[in-house]
């Protein structure tokens, strides 16, 4: 991969979404590994970055996170991600580790220091460091924060989307507050590993009524045989994905028929198309569910069009 200073004239040109790249994007492309992490007020080399063994994130998974796409050096839907972080922190009564405006600066600086042009920025906040006790630590204990950023290869993602992915289904045995984006992800980890060990990329979680809730790290969608686009309502049973919310707006603009309701695994097996959404993958077509082909086994036109148009509906910051 070629990387190095961008021709300064290029910064004045609009990219193909009709927007200018910000001046802090000095690199066309980036080295494959991220190198700097922001940890509680300091930018550290990844080798030296560590957290206290009594951090409540480490001991109790007592924390929350956000993951935001970086595209052409810009943050995608930052406002909504920060809003969801606010909600997660409020629900768990964790204090902001720094002012939201300062967090916005730290996110950009972490992206810049890691020379991420296309990739992700990850923010994790925990209830801080305290002697191990299940109850909350004394008032005033500062929250801990870590911010990292990493490059992703957009071409590899496009190749995957052109092929589509396989998913398996597993029982959803998570707690009842999966609407909070907590770092407590053990059921998701186990579900994802089941998928990997069966040669699939994602596991769809299925509730006790046989209805799909969401993927282990994605929201789940189908297109029915009569062309309706269906995804589960964002109640307490799923995470309200930012990609999901933007896509609902995009669907309406495109005049597609949208139904926000739970769908069964049987309905998914019979669907014309299926796909998953997440900030790191946008819209990823699903071509196989539990070993059965979805439609003709190729990415469908609805998923493909939504993937192509997604960033026109997203907010660029
Ligand atoms: N996952 N559902 C779950 C369980 C998730 O973990 C995610 C995101 C989503 C999609 O949310 P969004 O569109 O806001 O990315 C749905 C992130 C990417 C992760 O854990 O890596």
Domain ranges in the chain are 8-152, 157-313
CA of 278 to the centre of ligand 1 (A): 5
Q: Whose CA is nearest to atom 11 of ligand 1?
A: 241
Residue 181 is among the residues annotated as catalytic for this protein: yes
Which of 196, 203, 233, 197 has the alpha carbon at shortest distance from 218?
203
Give the torsion sign (CA, 180, 182, 184, 190): positive
Say how far apart CA 131 and CA 119 lie, in whole Å.
Answer: 36
231 in Cβ contact with 260 (< 8 Å)? yes
Q: Which atom of ligand 1 lies closest to the CA of 66?
A: 17
Q: Sorting pLDDT into bands at 50, 70 and 90, what band is 22?
A: low
Q: Whose CA is nearest to atom 6 of ligand 1?
A: 217
Whether 18 has a pLDDT exceeding 70, the answer reads no
Which of 47, 27, 31 has the alpha carbon at shortest distance from 39?
47
Whether 314 has a pLDDT exceeding 70, the answer reads yes
C-alpha atoms less than 13 angstroms from C-alpha of 256 in its C-beta half-sphere: 22
Q: Tell which CATH architecture fits domain 8-152.
A: 2-Layer Sandwich (3.30)
CA of 174 to the centre of ligand 1 (A): 15
Mean pLDDT value across residues 131-153: 97
Say how far apart CA 189 and CA 170 lie, in whole Å.
Answer: 12
The DSSP letter of residue 137 is: P
Residue 235 burial by Cβ neighbours in a 10 Å radius (0-12, 13-18, 19+) = exposed
217 in Cβ contact with 178 (< 8 Å)? no
What's this model's pTM, rounded to 2 decimal places? 0.90
Q: Residues 102-121: pLDDT tens digits?
A: 999 999 999 999 999 999 99
Q: Which residues are paired to 212 by β-bridges? A: 206
Q: What is the CATH number of domain 157-313?
A: 3.20.10.10
User: What is the H or E stretch that residue 106 is in?
Assistant: helix 100-113
Q: Sorting pLDDT into bands at 50, 70 and 90, what band is 126?
A: very high
Q: Residues 251-295: pLDDT tens digits?
A: 999 899 999 999 999 999 999 999 999 999 999 999 999 999 999
Q: Which of 61, 215, 218, 250 to mutate to test the pocket of ligand 1 (most atoms within 8 A of CB)?
A: 218
182 in Cβ contact with 64 (< 8 Å)? yes
């Amino acid at each position: 991969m070629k990387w190095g200073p961008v021709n300064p004239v290029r910064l004045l040109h609009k990219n193909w979404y009709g927007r200018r790249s910000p001046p802090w994007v000095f690199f066309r492309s980036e080295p494959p590994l991220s190198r700097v992490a922001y940890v509680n007020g300091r930018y550290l080399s990844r080798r030296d970055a560590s957290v206290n063994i009594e951090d409540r994130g480490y001991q109790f998974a007592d924390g929350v996170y956000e993951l935001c796409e970086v595209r052409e050096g810009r943050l995608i839907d930052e406002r909504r991600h920060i809003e969801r972080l606010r909600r997660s922190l409020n629900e768990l009564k964790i204090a902001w580790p720094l002012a939201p405006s300062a967090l916005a600066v730290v996110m950009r600086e972490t992206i810049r220091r890691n020379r991420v042009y296309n990739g992700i920025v990850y923010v994790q906040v925990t209830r801080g460091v305290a002697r191990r006790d299940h109850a909350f630590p004394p008032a005033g204990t500062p929250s801990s924060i870590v911010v990292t950023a990493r490059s992703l290869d957009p071409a590899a993602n496009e190749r995957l989307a052109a092929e589509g992915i396989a998913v398996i289904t597993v029982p959803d045995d998570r707690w009842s507050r999966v609407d909070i984006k907590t770092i407590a992800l053990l059921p998701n980890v186990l579900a994802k590993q089941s998928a990997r060990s069966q040669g699939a990329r994602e596991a769809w979680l299925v509730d006790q009524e046989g209805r799909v809730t969401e993927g282990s790290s994605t929201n789940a969608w189908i297109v029915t045989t009569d062309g309706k686009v269906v995804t589960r309502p964002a109640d307490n049973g799923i995470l309200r994905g930012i990609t999901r919310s933007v896509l609902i707006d995009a669907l309406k603009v495109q005049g597609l028929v949208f139904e926000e309701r739970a769908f069964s695994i049987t309905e998914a097996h019979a669907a014309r198309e299926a796909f998953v959404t997440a900030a790191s993958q946008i819209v990823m077509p699903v071509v196989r569910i539990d070993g059965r082909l979805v439609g003709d086994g190729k990415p469908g036109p609805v998923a493909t069009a939504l993937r192509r148009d997604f960033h026109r509906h997203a907010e660029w910051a």
